[in-house]
Structure 1
Amino acid sequence: MTTIKDVAKLAGVSTSTASRALHNSDMISEATKERVRRAMQELDYSPNYSAQNLVNRTTNTIGIVLPVRESQDSLGNNPFFMQIIQGISSVCSEYDYMVSLASGRTVDELRKNCQALIRSGNISKFIFLYSHKDDPVFDFVKKQKKVSCVVVGSSYEKLATKSVQFVDNDNHQAGRDVAEFMVSKGFEHLVFAYTDMDELVQTERYQGCCEYLQEHQKDSLSLHFSRVKEDENILKLQQFLAEHPKTQAFIACDDIMAIRLQRLLKNDKQEKSYAVISFNNSLITEIANPALTSVDIFPYQLGEKAAQLLLEKSRKSVSQKVIIPHQIIERESTLRF
């Protein structure tokens, strides 16, 4: 069985130098690191991280914290989260890190799962894939000793520290851009469809839409939908459209909401056609019927940047927030009927 001593011998360095190179130590030059990597590849050497973790009481694993959902199917079937996780995993592979997911149907369940990762799994690096108002899970994790976090989203506190950083889109501007795009298409009576305004990303998108519409003396209505109660959603939609017959288009908080809305409108057998635009531009937008116009927020890059921030060995300065750009991708769902 190949050992780190064999790697060191082939690379022409000491065992301690090979070990430091393996862990990407700043004390070792890039040239030496490269020699060690070539030796590892030639010998087909794989580090025994489990043994190292037991000795050092550390782990080469990142905890990815998913938002609370009443049904975990809504997360597993959401390509947005899958694309972010793929971006995270690609960077983790470069650093020889693994990922572990924390999820839950309730806040308490999610907090307990994070607690188990910290105390039993010795995980000290976390990426939150959501930002939620007054979140006890996030508050619990960030208060733990020697734990660092990156949040994909914004913070109500608007602060970054050495232990907490943020990667996000400018969702407020994205909301304004969507409203401007729809008005330019001739849609004046718009409705923002959402599921949870305590999720900051939905709030910021809604506020951006409202701001633009109010500046241009347009309607800025909103409609809340449940993530799981479809019968309730149908009744809500029917009542809303009866009360607001001038409605022309919906701005959905994300692609999943947009697909649900398209289905509700079809099942309700509406004679009138409504335009729909959404956010995230996940894979499902192209196969929707009609194909969805959506705001691409580049989730893979969000995941990559979050992992890079968390795994950088030296931080001479703390980035308050890294902003990933967005782009409206136009498809059939916003064509004038």
Structure 2
Amino acid sequence: MNSSGGWVYILHGDDVVARDDAVRSLKGRMRALPAGEHNLTVISEGEASVAALRAAADSLPFLADRRMVVVSGLLGKLQGVGAGSGRGARRGAKGASRSAGTADETAALLAYLHDVPFTTSIAFVEAGKVDVAPIQKAIPEGRGHVMPFPRPEGFGMTEWVRKRARTRRVDLDESAVRELAQLGADDLRRIDTEIRKLACYVADGEPVTREDVRALVVGRETLTWALLDALAARNLAQALSALRRLYLQGEEPMKLLGADVAPLYRRLLVARELGSLPRNERSSMESAFGVNPRALPKQMEQAAAFSVAEIERALELLLALDRGVKTGELEVEAALELTVAHLCSRL
């Protein structure tokens, strides 16, 4: 191996399932070496810094020839695209100081990459897309390996489902593939989990069909979307129909309240506020509120049918319901139905 530096891997992209598979593969190869477990260091995003990376990478291997350091989120943090990169961090003198510190750290990392010990491999693991060009330039020729994992889009989603099914040794027919693909690319981990569940659901040797997917996966999701869309449209008949069908599937009312109904009105409140902002200000606030840009247009359209006071009143009703159930004053199923009726009225 070239003594000018160790291997440097960059694994980045929104296909978190495939990316994490690749990370596990790298770790597995390291652990398979003599004393491999003792020479594998994992640095989480919260702990990621150039100093932490250097301290781990410069350590001599323990009773072995090689060691590996896996660090998450460092490149994104330095490039200002990581989860903690910044809401309001660049304002005033404090923001300028932080930017200067980040520039210094970036320069230190680029300088270090040329001198990574030949006994050490480094794997940078990044959520989303990062600019790999300056990193590649700093790595000695032939020592870097970039592994992009883009989010599947359009027809690519069906092929992604097929590949995951093959990986999980699950036989999906084409109708099942299309049904799972319709869940979208925003939560690939969930789809992967559902594929594993489907493998246990069907008899050995039998292909998974659309009906299997709808029975096990899409049923709850579809009904929940129907409930939330009906609430946003103030359509009482459709809301109660979806709610009662969820009850029949064994859905817990308090889980629906906390995980689905209350978050709907919080999203509508945020969308209502964002809708009042100029477009240039809105885009900068989306990440601060944790808003999915793809879902925002629909949320803004739904929120436009409510005043801020109405949304706040809806949240008050849900809080009162939660309190009443927890104190034993209300019977949960009937109380949630009554609250749904109130939510579908003019608040």
The normalised TM-score by structure 1 is 0.26
TM-score relative to the length of structure 2: 0.25
Identify the structure with the greater helix proportion.
Answer: 2
